[in-house]
Amino acid sequence: MAAQNFSPALPTSARSAPYPKASPGYGKRAVPGQRPPTADDFAFLPVRERYIAGYVDRLPDGAAMGIKSLAKCQPLYGQMAVGSALRALAVAGHLRQVRCAVDGGEGIRWVTRTFWSRTARDNEWWTAFLGAEESRCAPQPAVAPVGPPPWVPAEPAAMDAAGARPSAPVLPKQRTEEPQVPSPAYLALAGLGRTDARLALSAADCAVLEQLAGQWFARGVDADYLTRALIAGLPEAVDSPVGFVRRRLVDKLPPQLPAPAPASAAQDGPARHLMIECADCRTPGPPEVFRDGLCGPCLRSTHSPAADPAPEEDPGAGCDVQGHVQRIREQLKAR
């Protein structure tokens, strides 16, 4: 009779597949200043949260932290249980999921990062840490280099027979013919004859009317608007195109619109480069308005006695996460 294996350890493959990496800029980020791992790091957590916490703690920085990835790469819990466990770990102070604005050289983009702490942290610690992280991830303005690089040696000027450095010779300026680029107003006038032959203007006519047409462009119109305004309702015959166009440029000059008022920095507030995500509803917001990783509505619904219980198929439902948070706070105050 074959002997039965009563070992509680789960069978593992001879060679485990590498954990998927997140896209550049995304994934797990371990916070600094953590103590070395020990066997009782997550001893106060329920079984499900303790297992997920130990699994996440062993992941390298940059590993994918999506619920689907975590559920696929560990054998015990599915997506619903993993999502509930991550929410409980955020409430317990072990992680925060944030959106950071980064400059990848092609403009600002927002990336999602999960900051992980083996040691449970309180709300004040996370707020201070994420405030410092926001200043680090703020895009820095590019500084143009001035002068040659410091490693390029300066070339000393040659000395003449008297031992003095000669001044640079003055070379006569060469005449260069630079092509004259026509203005948008000139080009719009020159194209009138191709749109309607009755308003065909010569080069001299375009030069005479260029200043009047330039007033239209100064008031925010473009070439299409100017062309439509000049050719609208033309008579059957135009005896003097230059006189007709001059009259319309004066009579139909568009009004001067006021410039839009600049947005007030005092009203809009400083630009945010880091937004924390609610561990429950995923709504982003500034770190200082979150508590235990939850936004205000989700925090109130969690503490409300009418809150819906977790589904029965969730093996970690009913865990005393709030009691665990209270114990953590008492331990932090005792230090």
Per-residue pLDDT at 22: 80
Collapsed DSSP state (helix, strand, coil) of residue 114: strand
Same domain, 135 and 279: yes
How far CA 308 is from CA of 60, 78, 318, in Å, comes to 35, 20, 11
Same domain, 84 and 228: no
Which residue ranges of the chain lie beneath pLDDT 50?
1, 5-16, 142-144, 151, 263-268, 306-318
Same domain, 103 and 197: no
240 falls within a domain = yes
How far CA 204 is from CA of 185, 190, 245, in Å, comes to 14, 10, 14
**283-322 confidence digits (pLDDT tens):** 887 777 788 888 878 877 765 554 444 444 444 444 555 6
Same domain, 280 and 242: no
Same domain, 128 and 194: no
Could you count the other beta carbons within 10 Å of the beta carbon of residue 46? 18
Phi then psi for residue 101, to 5 deg, are -90, 120
Work out how many domains the chain is built from and give that number.
2
Return the structure tokens found at 216: 């239209």
166 falls within a domain = no
Per-residue pLDDT at 48: 92
277 falls within a domain = yes
221 falls within a domain = yes
In sequence order, what E strands does the chain have? 27-30, 95-103, 108-116, 274-277, 284-285
71 falls within a domain = yes
Same domain, 109 and 39: yes
Per-residue pLDDT at 334: 54
Per-residue pLDDT at 266: 40
Same domain, 59 and 132: yes
In whole angstroms, what is the distance from residue 89 CA to residue 25 CA?
A: 22
Same domain, 116 and 43: yes
149 falls within a domain = no
98 falls within a domain = yes
Collapsed DSSP state (helix, strand, coil) of residue 276: strand
Residue 98: give the domain boundaries: 27-139+273-308+316-334
In sequence order, what E strands does 43-179 have? 95-103, 108-116
227 falls within a domain = yes
Per-residue pLDDT at 294: 84
Per-residue pLDDT at 288: 76
Same domain, 107 and 32: yes
Same domain, 285 and 211: no
Same domain, 33 and 135: yes
Same domain, 223 and 279: no
> Are the C-beta atoms of residues 46 and 319 closer than 8 Å to each other?
yes
Per-residue pLDDT at 240: 92
Phi then psi for residue 112, to 5 deg, are -105, 125
